[in-house]
Structure 1
Amino acid sequence: MPNIRHFVSLLLAFGGAALALQPAMALAGPAAETVVEAPAGTVEGVAGNGIASFKGIPYAAPPTGDLRWQPPVEPARWDGVRDASEFGPACYQPTVPGAANSIYHEELGPMSEDCLSLNIWAPEHASNAPVLVWIHGGALVSGASSFDMYDGSRLARQGVVVVSINYRLGALGFLAHPGLSAESPQDISGNYGLMDQIAALRWIESNISAFGGNPQNVTIAGESAGALSVMWLMTAPPARGLFDKAIMQSAYMISSPALKEAEHGHVSAEAMGTWLQEQLDAPDLAAMREMAPGELVNRAARAGYLIWSTVDGKLIPNQIAETFDRGAQAPVPVLAGFNSGEIRSLRRLLPPAPATSSGYEAKIREAYGDLAEVFLALYPADTIDESMLAATRDALYGWTAERLARKQTLLGQDGFLYLFDHGYPEADKAGLHAFHASEIPYVFGTIHETAPNWPKIPRNAQERELSDAMLQYWATFARDGQPRAHGQPDWPAYGAQAAFMVFDETPQTGTRLMGTRYALNEAVVCRRRAAGDQPWHWNVGIASPPLPPRAEGCQ
């Protein structure tokens, strides 16, 4: 197996109602019980200040025992009134020494395989309101829908029904294995976490109207691995028709292993599963199903098992980049963007820096060949650290965001592109200007409900005004596909001008965000795809193997 332990350690660390265009308001005041009778069953949540919340609602049966590594099963309708005042357990994920020191660390509470639940925040008396479904990040290894930062109350005050979901993670959520494929009528395995997300969307389609939501106006949204999940859902035939718009924050259009064959520098997903079985000293699948879930996920992580989606030809027919090139993705409006300081909090994605500028330049020339001059002009040798941060950011996140906007525009759909470039004193002092995920609390309006180690956001009018603007842009996009905010610039669609919005001290519009940086990364990925023996992910800059020669159709 490839040497991926350094990357695994990083992944585990961060793990039509009327819609008012108005500033978000603080939530306070008494709460009371509220009861909703939905097709799935009757639930009792909590209401206050015009918002009703319902938490820990199961959308699938517990995937335990023989249901471990099986597609999710619809739960039976429950009898009586189900208490929905508390979040459900988090899905199992590794416990990592030192993780409590990460800026992304947040206490999970109980973990369980019985974790396939969702949470709903709805305006009281809502009817036919737009629905926004949040898929949490965490590198497909960690995270939960219960994090304080994901509280949907303020977004709901904009007239949106907000839903957040849990899904299976790590080896329990994405293991492919020849034995599992043999059990499947479609001869596929892996992607169980993605199947969970689709099951949640089906539950929403059947039940959300009882909570005031419009099942015909659903926006799927996520950040990092959540945004990666949104891209997969845009390419997955079983998800077609379950959503109407998509938001992708810091998505990364990386390559994935094929189910049965070695492709693009990846061993097959089934081979990875067989390898993991050996690392777990398990004689067969039955033994793996009998392992305690906590032991399984921790041993898998220590062994260096890296979590991927699987191109299985059915749920995920092709590489994401190929599906978007074919125009076979979901024809829906998209909102996509990235942060200027993505890698400042993800430095383990970077290889050790060369000691000298001449060493850096030599490595780039060796790796990039005829594209080296362009690369060095964009990411020069006289600022090695900043160049490495920018090159990896652009290859993973910047290229992906602009590609999403471009490809949807070619489909005749609106694409809205953004750059989050906002800093504040505590983040900037720590060298974390506009770091990975730092836009999330501004989108949710939870700028003072972040994780304990998160650089503290000042309690002043300027920060609240920026957050109010962003949550309004996101909410109006969920309503009608046109992001707008009270007293702020209109957000132009990407279109022929390659328009975008930058969020710094205030929202401002611009054009041609990536420019040559996009063209360079498009050329690199094109050559790797044509050669078929190199992945495209964080093998960037001095970490890049020698690029394949120019191929037909590539620059």
Structure 2
Amino acid sequence: MSAKFRGLICQCVITSIFGLFCADLVAEPERPVVAVVQGKLRGVVDRGLRVFKGIPYAAPPVGERRWKAPGAPVTWPGVRDAAVFGPGCMQPSLPKDYFYADEPPSKSEDCLTLNIWAPPSSHRAPVIVWIHGGGLGIGSSASPLYDGGNFARRGVVFVSLNYRLGALGWLAHPALSAESGDGISGNYGLLDQIQALEWVRDNVAAFGGDPGNVTIMGESAGALSVSYLLTSPLARGLFHRAIAQSPNARAFPELQQSVYGMPSAEQIGAGIARAAGAADLEALRALDVDALQRAATGQHFRPQGTVDGRVLPAQIIDIFDARRQAQVPLLAGFNSGEVKTQLLLLPKPPSSADVYTAEIRKRYGDLAPAFLRLYPASDIRGSMLAALRDAVYGWATERMVRLQAAAGQPAYLYLFDHCDAETAARDLCAFHASDLPYVFGQIGPGASLPANWPRPEGAADRALSEAMLDYWVSFARSGVPGGQGLPEWRPYSKGQSYMHFAERPVASSDPVSGMFEMQEELVQRRRRAGEQWFFKVGIAAPQVPPAQSPVSLSGQ
């Protein structure tokens, strides 16, 4: 019996002598202590789970360590408190009415921490490592949406992490390359993720997890990060399955040469340094973060990976084509209404169906008939939304799954097409990231969602969420998504099979018939012509290059 519990008994006895009633004799649960490589951690018990937050997995990337690969985490004496999240990585504040606004409680350059939700007792449990989205420029593992409790209640050790964002995480520069032992720069946020996976490998067994069964999982920029990790040799062997929710597969800047109409990554970084008035590397490292962010915004900097020959050895699309990606089971999908919350990416609609048709024929040439079958003039708005969705998310997702299957790996595709009552009333059905409340079990009145999001809470919403959680956990455990009483989710290799998450899960095949074939032909033509194949589609598309040989898509 603990001293605290004995004290409560004594207090009750004493108060009863004076005629008082001791109604509740409840001892606080003992806070769990776990030993990791750096020292001991004291977590908390939350609804029966062991939870540890704010665990440093790398040395703070501040001062002279700004824009360097993450260093080994520091050790500490005694027992470190792990009851609260660490600060989010530095990022701009967003307007409160921005749809995806989800401000972290605090921000700092010293932000490389992770969090763990573990069952009350487990041994060699499957591990999921969650990588948050946010365009590689915003976001935090402290978002209540990413609470890992529902995964841990199903027997998973769930890990979420922070990684460097914006220019601090993704800037390349000639001087940074020169000081690097490998002659490269950029990709610091990706190196953070790899360091976190190494920490998990070395420490997750202390929490009851199996370091030999780790699934990486991310959405949007987190799914893009999953793609990076699949293609980076430095991450090889650190994970054993992958889940990518709404990934993309655009071309990325190369370190020292212009490709696909983009300047080199070093040129981009040098332009930001000039705009910030930083004449040398010392001045660049001394910049106030706000000044750096203003300069990056003024130069229209897009945080993204750099093809440097080492961390990212080649374009994602080329690595998958050569089957040089990690050979692991893959589960990936996209949402039917992805771009309904990304309308700024759409051009102004044409004035009529005739104008729409004429523009498509002019820009797409011999591919126009296939394009118009998929995205007809009879529904201009719906067609514009679908065409952009497929160009950014649909084609990339199906391509990843297709090529993983072609490499002999189990690969599973899904289309999230569910719409709750409030989301339907706001005409946002299956918007980008709307799958997340279902995957994390954040359904109902007590759900923790970003302030501006609809709140699903119907019985069908709860049932679909339970099914998706079961599928995701099953995949993490065995590499096969399944669940008691659920439809069989067949691998994509079985006749282009996929799972359609609408009112309920329905197994089907060929999610958007003819889409992949048309988009793939379009991408290959732009790729051969040295053009970027991202974003500019439909009536905003540049002229499509001609085919090298006659192509027929009439059967699609």
**Are 1:285 and 2:281 matched, yes or no?**
yes
Q: Which residue pairs with 1:457 in the alignment?
A: 456
Q: Which amino acid aligns with 1:255?
A: A
Higher relative contact order (CA 8 A, sep 6+): 1
SS of the residue aligned with 1:33?
coil
Structure 2 counterparts to residues 83-232 of structure 1, below 5 A: 83-96=81-94, 99-232=95-228
Which residue does 2:254 correspond to in 1? 258
Which whole-Å CA distance do the structure 2 matches of 1:389 and 1:148 have between them? 30
Of residues 484, 487, 490, the one that matches 1:486 is 484
Does structure 2 retain, via aligned residues, the 8 Å contact 1:103–1:455? no
> How many Å separate the matches in 2 of 1:311 and 1:234?
14
Q: Answer yes or no: is 1:64 the counterpart of 2:78.
A: no
User: Would you say 1:428 and 2:427 are equivalent positions?
Assistant: no
**In the alignment, which residue of structure 1 is the partner of 2:6?**
none
How far the C-alpha of 1:155 sits from its partner, in A, is 0.8
Q: Is the 8 A contact 1:173 1:190 kept in 2?
A: yes
Q: Which residue of 2 aligns with 1:521?
A: 519
Residues 526 and 554, structure 1, Cα contact 8 Å, conserved in 2 = no
Partner amino acid, structure 2, of 1:511: S
Q: How far is 1:378 from its partner?
A: 1.0
- Note the C-alpha offset of 1:531: 1.4
CA distance in 2, matches of 1:536, 1:43: 47
Change (3 A) 1:190 1:82: same
Q: Does 1:546 align with 2:543?
A: yes
Residue 364 of structure 1 pairs with residue 360 of structure 2: yes
- Counterpart selection for 1:306 from 298, 302, 307: 302
Q: Is the 8 A contact 1:90 1:144 kept in 2?
A: yes
Q: Quick one: which of 325, 328, 334 aligns to 1:332? A: 328
Letter in 2 for 1:457: P
C-alpha deviation, 1:380, in angstroms: 1.3
CA distances 1:124-157 after superposition (whole Å, capped 9, x unpaired): 1111000000000000010000111100001111
How much identity, in percent, do the aligned residues show?
Answer: 50
The residue type paired with residue 71 of structure 1 is A
The residue number in structure 1 matching 2:10 is: none
Task: Tell me if structure 1 keeps the 8 A contact 2:271–2:299.
Answer: no
Tell me which residue corresponds to 1:24: none
Describe the SS at the equivalent of 1:186: coil
For the residue of structure 1 that corresponds to 2:118, the secondary structure is: strand
Q: What residue identity is the alignment partner of 2:178?
A: A
Q: When the two structures are superposed, what TM-score results if normalisation uses the length of structure 1?
A: 0.92
Residue deviations 1:375-417, cap 9 Å, x none? 1121112321111100010111111111111111111111110
1:208-229: per-residue Cα shift (whole Å, max 9, x none)? 0001110000000000000000
Q: Call closer, same or farther: CA 1:31–1:518 in 2, change over 3 Å.
A: farther
Q: Counterpart of 1:551 in structure 2: which amino acid?
A: Q
Distance apart, 1:522 and its partner CA: 0.4
Which whole-Å CA distance do the structure 1 matches of 2:290 and 2:488 have between them? 48
Deviation per CA, 1:189-245, whole angstroms, max 9, x where unpaired? 111000000000000000000011100000000000000000010000000000000
Amino acid at match of 1:450: L
The residue type paired with residue 172 of structure 2 is: A
Q: 1:500 aligns with which of 498, 504, 513?
A: 498
Stretch of structure 1 that moved more, 471-480 or 486-495: 486-495
Q: Secondary structure at the match of 1:335?
A: strand
- TM (normalized to structure 2)? 0.92
Which of residues 260, 264, 268 in structure 2 aligns to 1:268?
Answer: 264
What secondary structure is seen at the aligned counterpart in 2 of 1:490? Answer: coil
Check conservation: 1:121, 1:153, Cα contact below 8 A: yes
The SS at the match of 2:414 is strand
**Secondary structure, counterpart of 2:547 in structure 1:** coil
Distance in 1 between residues matched to 2:541 and 2:29, nearest whole Å: 55
Who is 1:73 aligned against? 71
Select which of 236, 241, 248 maps to 2:244: 248
Give the partner amino acid of 2:238: L
Aligned residue pairs, count: 523
- The answer to whether the 8 Å contact 1:95/1:298 transfers is no
Shift of 1:177: 0.8
Once residues 550 and 225 of structure 2 are traced to their aligned partners in structure 1, the CA distance between those partners, rounded to angstroms, is 29
Give, as a single letter, the amino acid of the residue that structure 2 aligns with 1:68.
R
Contact 2:112 2:163 in 1 (8 A): yes
Deviation at 1:273, TM superposition (A): 0.6
Alpha-carbon distance between aligned partners in 1 of 2:237 and 2:300, rounded to the nearest angstrom: 37
- Seen in structure 2, the aligned counterparts of structure 1 residues 554 and 146 have a Cα distance that, compared at 3 Å, is farther
Amino acid paired to 1:401: T
Q: Does 1:393 align with 2:389?
A: yes
Name the aligned partner's letter for residue 50 of structure 2: A
Give the CA deviation at 1:525: 0.8
Distance 1:78 1:169 in 2: 26
> How far apart, CA to CA, are the structure 2 residues paired with 1:190 and 1:35?
37
| Cα pair 1:92 1:294 within 8 Å, conserved | no
Q: CA deviation at 1:353?
A: 1.8
1:174 Cα shift? 0.3
Q: Alpha-carbon deviation of 1:31?
A: 5.6
- How many Å separate the matches in 2 of 1:50 and 1:491? 32
Is the contact between residue 414 and residue 499 of structure 2 (CA under 8 Å) also seen in structure 1?
A: yes
Residue pair 1:101, 1:453 contacting (<8 A) in 2 also: yes
| In structure 2, C-alpha distance between the alignment counterparts of 1:355 and 1:290, rounded to whole Å | 52
CA distance in 2, matches of 1:174, 1:552: 39
How much does 1:439 deviate?
Answer: 0.5
Separation in structure 2 between the aligned mates of residue 275 and residue 362 of structure 1, nearest angstrom: 40
- Give the SS at the match of 2:96: helix
- Report the alpha carbon displacement of residue 513 of structure 1 after superposing the two structures with TM: 1.1
Report the Cα offset of residue 554 of structure 1: 7.9
Compared with structure 1, are the counterparts of its residues 543 and 31 closer, same or farther at alpha carbon in structure 2 (3 Å cutoff)? farther
CA deviation profile, 1:326-368 (whole Å, cap 9, x unmatched): 0100000000000000000111111222222222222212221
User: For residues 407 and 112 of structure 1, what CA distance do their matches in structure 2 show?
Assistant: 39
Bigger CA radius of gyration? 2
Q: Is the CA contact 1:527–1:554 (under 8 Å) kept in the aligned structure 2?
A: no
For 2:302 and 2:29, how far apart are their aligned partners in 1? 43
Output the amino acid matched with 1:259.
Answer: L
CA contact (8 A) 2:87 2:108 kept: yes
| Stretch deviating more after TM superposition (288-297 or 270-279) | 288-297
Q: Distance in 2 between matches of 1:256 and 1:316?
A: 10
Structure 1 range deviating more: 391-400 or 276-285: 276-285
Residue 535 (1) aligns with residue 532 (2): yes
Which amino acid is 1:376 matched to?
L
Counterpart amino acid of residue 371 in structure 2? F
The CA distance in 2 between the partners of 1:56 and 1:62, in whole Å, is 13
